[in-house]
Amino acid sequence: MYAGFHEEGDRCPQDKCEGKLDWPKTVNCSCHISPPCHACTSKVLTCKVCGWEDDPPPYKDIPVSIGEPTLSMREYRPRPLDPTKIDYRIKLHTASSQICEGVYPEGTTMEEVRKVVNGTFGGVFKYFENGKFKFIAYTD
């Protein structure tokens, strides 16, 4: 189950609605075969009064056909980065390094960003300009 900024029992954020947010009943659960199943992990908070639904999970299942039967592959949709602070995503690079790619507010120095993203054994900036950076952090 995925919850955005809302929690179960919160008042519905829709204007003039007095309903409460709740998890819908799970339909076609297959956790007994392979937990957690898609039916359980794809639920979103819903208002039973007006039908409002929270944002969907940051991924979606997309069908992939490799012969028969059709399989399902999960596509990841990352959250937006916040340019009002040093915010970044970590990506795989090598067995001993990772890529920290992100944004920073205007006036932030490279050293301030380095303090946040620096690896165990240092690292190197690939770029640092226009509020964006890419840093290779050496972790092992």
Q: Digits of tens for pLDDT over the chain (140 positions)? A: 444 567 788 888 888 888 998 888 888 888 888 777 878 877 888 898 998 888 766 655 555 556 555 555 566 667 888 999 999 999 988 999 999 999 999 999 999 999 999 988 999 999 999 999 999 999 88
Look at residue 67 in the predicted model and tell me its pLDDT. Answer: 59
Q: Are residues 105 and 60 in the same domain?
A: no
Look at residue 2 in the predicted model and tell me its pLDDT. Answer: 42
Residue 56 phi, psi (nearest 5): -70, 165
- The answer to whether 20 and 6 are in contact (CB under 8 A) is no
Q: Are residues 92 and 127 in the same domain?
A: yes
Examine residue 91 and state whether it is found in any structural domain, yes or no: yes
The parent domain of residue 35 ranges over 21-76
Q: Are residues 29 and 72 in the same domain?
A: yes
Q: Are residues 36 and 70 in the same domain?
A: yes
CA atoms within 13 A on the CB side of 83: 7
Residues whose CB is less than 8 angstroms from the CB of residue 28 and which lie 6 or more positions away in sequence, other chains included: 39
Q: Are residues 103 and 70 in the same domain?
A: no
Number of domains in the chain: 2
Q: Are residues 25 and 71 in the same domain?
A: yes
Give the end-to-end CA distance of the chain in Å, rounded to a whole number: 34
